[in-house]
Structure formats: C-alpha cells, structure tokens
Amino acid sequence: MRTRPRHLVSAMAIAMGAFAAMPALDGAPAAAELGAAIPGLTAEETARFEAGREAFAETEVAADGLGPVFNGDSCAACHSDPAVGGGGTRVETRFGRRRRGAFDPLDALGGSLLQDQGIGRAGACDFGAEVVPPEANVTAGRRTTPLFGLGLVDAVPDDALTALAALERVRRPQTAGRPHLVQDAVSGKTRVGRFGWKSQVASLLHFSADAYLNEMGVTTPIFPNENCPNGDCALLACDPVADPEDEGEDMVAFADFMALLAPPSPRLASFGRERARGGRDVFDRIGCADCHLPTLRSGPSEIAALANREFAPYSDFLLHDMGSLGDGIDQGDAKGREMRTAPLWGLHAISRFLHDGRAATVEDAILAHDGQARTSRDRYRTLGREERTRLLDFLKSL
C-alpha cells in the first residue's frame, strides 16, 4: 500500500475539515472593529501594527519616490472604505491584446495595469496619465478589495490549498477550482497564489512590494526597476529619485499592517441568528459553498494570534472558470475566463460588487455568475421570495 507523506496527509485533513465545516453562529469570537488589529497581539506586534497603519496612510510625493506614473499617493487613498485597510469603489483599468487565442499584456506599451496619474514636470519630462494604447483589444476593470484578515490567509499552508483543490476535484469536479502556482518574489520559490483577483500573488510581503511599485511607482529591493510610462523607458532618465526608492522599511510596514488587521466579524444581530441559519442553509443547498468555502484553517506562524486558527473567509482562494464573468485578462497561468473565488467576509461593508464593480446589489452579483457558477446561479433563480430574502440577509450579515 502506497502511503502519503505526513505533511500531505495533514494538509488533506485541514482541507477536508474546511470543506465540510460551516462557522458556528453561536459562540463566535467577539466582534472586532473594522480596521482594528487582530486580538491577541503582543505589545511588540501591536507597535508594528500601529507603525504599519501610519505608513499605510502616509501621503507620498515625488521627492519620496512617488511615480513617475501611479494610481494613488498613499495606500489608504484606495484602501479606506469603511476604514483604513478596507476596499473602495475605485476601479482600475487592465488592458491587453488577444489574437488567435493568445493574450499579450502589451508590456512594451505599459501594460497590463494602467497608471492614471503622473507627477507632472520633472526635469525635461512632463509625466501625465497613461492611456490605453490602440493596440489593446481587451480592457477590464479591477475594483479595490478590502485587506481585512489577510494575515490569516497568508498563514494557510500551500499544501492545504493544493489538497483542497484535489478534494474538490473528487467531491464536486464540475465546480472544482485549481491552485494558481506563481513565483513568490520574496523567496524565489514556486508557491500557491492567494492574493489579487487572479490569485496572482502568494505572500503579503510580495503583495506589498508589488502594490508599492504598480500603484504608487515606488521601487524596493524586491522590485527595484520602475515601470516605463506607456512603455517609454527613455522617460525614466527624468525620474527624480534613484532606485530603489524605498530600502524596504515601508514595504515591510505595509505588510505588517495587512498581516495584523483583524478579519471582519459577521453582523448577525442585524438580521437575527435564526434567519442567518436559514440563509446559510440555502447558501449551502444551492452550491454557493462549493467555491465560497465557509472556513479555512491557518498553519504555523511566528505571530501566535495567526497560528493554527480557524477563520471564515467564504473562499477557497482557487481559480475557477467563470465563463462570461471572467475579465479577459491572462495573468501568470490564470486565463481570461478564470478568477479567484472572491472572499465574502465583510460583504456588509462593500457597496459595489464583482471584480469590476458592475453590480450594485448582492443579487445583481449572483445573477451575473457564469461558467462553473452557472448552476448555482440558476438554482438561485428558482428560489421562492422567502428563501431568496433569507439568503441575501445571510450574505449581508457576513
């Protein structure tokens, strides 16, 4: 009899428990205010959180390394609703060109993320907003996502997500997701992605450095090279600050803040526990939980408050074929039709839904589902008014 390695058996046990579990509505942890630190931190960890929050909210200028093209002058410029570390209604632009089925991100023309602001005059150059080049035939919006609870997501072992994908293939192959294997810029290793609309980033430190470069135009030791505005690298001769513009201090501070942010707490009192239970039953019955997995468990962490803890993100963090709901952008190994399962925790604090913010209501978002989610969408359409109301109330309580 062939035996599995011990670490894989443990990972599969985590995945199987997470797949089957639903978070308890009774005896839940005390609610934490959105934007607050996760409970249970040491004094030193709390200080790191506070320092990270201050850096996260600090406004940068060109003399600090901002730009020369960028999308925001601070992290909080986009991540502030309903508190620092939250999401927002801002929708950024991705673009590229698809020809004969192959996707070209048009890197040579500044793709695939559009930076919509510039620092203005610097030396002989005048830096303005980038534009979508005429060569692009694919454009997509990406809504700013909340960062609450990401330290717990960061602490989920890669093996657990890989085993979860294998379990989904066995139990429900028609809706099974797949892990996005990406290179972690911090370790240089191939890891399982979990952050971003395509699960294109595997670690919070990579996520921090990537956002610092691509959203604010600030280089770091991990990403030491500037983006060329619309692909014109000659303009970088006018960049007023030498690279790397941040030696790593702010990059680490941003990652600390995100890692130590408390996860959202459900607002069960707004709708009543019995009603929430009824809505949760509908959620499970029509197949929403196949992808929006109610619970996961973190693994070891040097931060005790994040270690070996069950949490309720309502996501498997895997890629799924979303059919017409895909954004058409290839990113890493994620194809245009594929998207990460969006976490549903904190849904009560979001005012626009889906990756491009097109949905004004939770129901609009459900009805836009396609691809592997089509069956659940169609089952939702068959629900009576009372069941629909119970389900929507449950989702709005998360």
Q: What is the pLDDT, as a whole number, of residue 267?
A: 86
Angle in degrees, 0-180, between the axes of helices 204-216 and 249-260, rounded to the nearest 10: 120
User: Is 16's pLDDT higher than 70?
Assistant: no
Residue 296 pairs with which residues in a beta bridge? 311
* pLDDT value at residue 18: 43
Q: Is the pLDDT of residue 2 over 60?
A: no
β partners of residue 201: 195
Nearest to 110 by CA among 124, 97, 123: 97
Summarised one tens digit per residue, pLDDT across range 159-204 is 999 999 999 999 999 999 999 999 999 999 999 999 999 999 999 9
How far is CA 265 from its chain centroid?
A: 18
Q: How far is the C-alpha of 96 from the C-alpha of 135, rounded, in Å?
A: 8
**181-218: string of b/e by CB count within 10 Å (b at 16+)?**
ebebbbeeeebbbbbbbbbbbbbbbbbbbbbbbbbbbb
By residue count, the chain amounts to 398
23 versus 41: which is more confidently predicted? Answer: 41
Find the DSSP H helices in the chain: 6-20, 43-57, 150-154, 158-171, 204-216, 249-260, 273-285, 362-367, 374-382, 385-397
Specify the higher pLDDT residue, 119 or 267: 119
Query: Among 91, 108, 104, which residue's Cα sits nearest to residue 137?
Result: 104
Neighbours of 372 (CB within 10 A): 23
User: pLDDT by residue (tens digit) across 213-268?
Assistant: 999 999 999 999 999 999 999 999 999 999 999 999 999 999 999 999 999 998 87
Q: Which residues are within 8 A (CB) of 73 and not within 5 positions of it... i.e. 6 or more apart?
A: 59, 60, 61, 66, 216
Nearest to 306 by CA among 177, 154, 196, 179: 154
Amino acid 7: pLDDT: 39
Average pLDDT, rounded, for the chain: 92
Measured CA to CA, the distance from residue 145 to residue 168 in angstroms comes to 26
Token digits of residue 130: 């980038």
Kindly state the percentage of the chain with pLDDT values over 90: 88
Distance CA 311, CA 83 (A): 21
Task: State which H helix or E strand residue 25 sits in.
Answer: none
Residue 28: pLDDT over 60 = no
Candidates 239, 211, 243; CA nearest to 113 is 211
Structure confidence at residue 9 (pLDDT): 38
337-365 pLDDT, tens digit per residue, is 999 999 999 999 999 999 999 999 999 99
Cα–Cα distance between 308 and 313 in angstroms, integer?
A: 15
Tokens of 46: 């709390």
